[in-house]
């Protein structure tokens, strides 16, 4: 976690308090037996147990409808869990009052498939908004936005209208907005879904560069080619359950034809029973230590 400590995070709401020392050693994100029902009879997530250590880079993958987006949405409280807990820096996200949800989100950087940039704003305005929310004085905002734009490769483009940018560039604007506040955790929900394959690699590389400065990244995608090129931890979801695999596509849940028959039972194995909330801790801490150690 030493690398994590170097990053200046002046707005780390969750860092506050007397227990900050013990919090620093906690996993940044933990799912404990999380259930989410959009329909009574059919849970979208059924008993998800996961631990994400600080400084990890994780792919979240799985077939369409597996619940990848839902998993991320529960973290930033677009939705609330129906059972179980999600701990962000040791705090139960589900128990935040609606008044403190903004403060949760200020510690997250969120990137979407459809960019969610304001098209008629300038590039600068789209990035600056994240800092204005924090009541940062305009002079400081200008400096930090310029820095963030440089990091995503858009130096000097601040005055351009965002709609005049290409898709890949617009996604970079969104990424600049997500990182300009230096959040501890970045949630990316299929950020490359609308982009060409070579652009997708560029964006993935950008996320890896951000990760290299100590930021934890959760990167949801169902793009096999992206996952296959990198050696990151993979959190595979299928039918609302977690199937963990360290690397590669060997146990890809959707790829039934390429998957050895003996993998299927392991999906059932990954399903946690009562009280064994942190079954996947071993796997995750292994990858976590390999990344930060």
Ligand X SMILES: Nc1ncnc2c1ncn2[C@@H]1O[C@H](COP(=O)(O)OP(=O)(O)OP(=O)(O)O)[C@@H](O)[C@H]1O
- 3-state SS string for the chain: CHHHHHCCCCCCHHHCCCCHHHHHCCCCEEEEEEEEEEECCEEEEEEEEEEECCCCEEEEECCCCCCHHHHHHHHCCCCCCCEEEEEECCEEHHHCCCCCHHHHHCCEEEEECCCCCCCCCEHHHHHHHHHHCCCCCHHHHHHHHHHHHHHCCCCCCCCCEHHHCCHHHHHHHHHHHHHCCCCCEEEEECCCCCCCHHHHHHHHHHHHHHHHCCCEEEEECCCHHHHHHCCCEEEEEECCEEEEECCCCCCCCCCCCCCCHHHHHHHHHHCCCCCCCCCCHHHHHHHHHHHHC
* 59 lies in the site for other proteins, by CB under 8 A: no
CB of 30 to other proteins, least distance (A): 21
CB of 108 to ligand X, least distance (A): 17
Dihedrals φ, ψ of 29, to 5°? -145, 130
Candidates 49, 61, 69, 162; binder of Mg ion (CB under 5 A) is 69
CA angle, 152 then 155 then 160, to 5°: 105
Indicate the pairing of strand 29-39 with strand 42-52.
antiparallel
- Per partner kind, with CB cut-offs from 5 to 8 A, the member of other proteins, Mg ion, ligand X, none near residue 94 is none
Instruction: Identify whether the C-beta of residue 152 lies closer than 8 Å to the C-beta of residue 205.
Output: no
Give me the 17-56 binding string for Mg ion, x by CB under 5 A, dash otherwise: ----------------------------------------
Q: Smaller CB distance to ligand X: residue 253 or 288?
A: 253
| Residue carrying structure tokens 């919090």 | 23
CB of 222 to Mg ion, least distance (A): 8
* 118 lies in the site for other proteins, by CB under 8 A: yes
- Per partner kind, with CB cut-offs from 5 to 8 A, the member of ligand X, other proteins, Mg ion, none near residue 228 is none
Question: How many residues contact other proteins, by CB under 8 A?
Answer: 29
| The one segment of 45-53, 105-113, 207-215, 241-249 that binds other proteins by CB under 8 A | 105-113
Candidates 130, 165, 184, 210; binder of other proteins (CB under 8 A) is 130
Give me the 201-240 binding string for other proteins, x by CB under 8 A, dash otherwise: ----------------------------------------
- Per partner kind, with CB cut-offs from 5 to 8 A, the member of Mg ion, ligand X, other proteins, none near residue 132 is other proteins
| The one segment of 45-53, 132-140, 157-165, 274-282 that binds other proteins by CB under 8 A | 132-140
Give me the 60-99 binding string for ligand X, x by CB under 6 A, dash otherwise: --x-xxxxxxx-----------------------------
Under the rule (CB under 8 A), what is the footprint of other proteins?
76, 99, 102-108, 110, 116-121, 125-126, 129-130, 132-138, 177, 181
Under the rule (CB under 6 A), what is the footprint of ligand X?
38, 44, 62, 64-70, 222
Under the rule (CB under 5 A), what is the footprint of Mg ion?
69
């Amino acid at each position: 976690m030493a690398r994590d400590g170097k990053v200046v995070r002046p707005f780390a709401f969750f860092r506050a308090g007397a227990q900050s020392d013990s919090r620093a050693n906690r996993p940044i994100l933990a799912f404990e037996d999380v259930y989410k029902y959009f329909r009574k009879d059919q849970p979208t997530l059924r008993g998800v147990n996961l631990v994400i250590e600080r400084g990890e880079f994780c792919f979240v993958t799985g077939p369409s409808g597996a619940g990848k987006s839902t998993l991320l949405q529960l973290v930033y409280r677009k939705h609330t869990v129906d059972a179980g807990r999600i701990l962000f820096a040791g705090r139960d996200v589900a128990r935040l009052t609606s008044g403190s949800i903004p403060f949760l989100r200020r510690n997250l950087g969120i990137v979407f498939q459809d960019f969610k940039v304001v098209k008629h704003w300038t590039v600068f305005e789209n990035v600056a908004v994240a800092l204005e929310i924090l009541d940062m004085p305009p002079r400081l905002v200008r400096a930090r936005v310029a820095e963030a734009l440089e990091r995503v490769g858009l130096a000097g483009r601040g005055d351009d209208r965002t709609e005049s940018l290409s898709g890949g560039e617009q996604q970079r604007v969104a990424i600049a907005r997500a990182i300009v506040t230096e959040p501890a955790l970045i949630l990316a929900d299929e950020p490359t879904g609308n982009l060409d394959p070579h652009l997708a690699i560029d964006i993935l590389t950008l996320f890896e560069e951000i990760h290299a400065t100590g930021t934890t990244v959760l990167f949801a995608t169902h793009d096999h080619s992206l996952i296959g090129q990198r050696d990151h931890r993979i959190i595979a979801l299928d039918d609302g359950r977690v199937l963990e695999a360290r690397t590669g596509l060997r146990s890809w849940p959707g790829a039934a034809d390429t998957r050895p028959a003996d993998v299927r039972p392991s999906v059932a194995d990954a399903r946690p029973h009562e009280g064994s909330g942190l079954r996947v801790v071993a796997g995750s801490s292994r990858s976590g230590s390999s990344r930060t150690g």
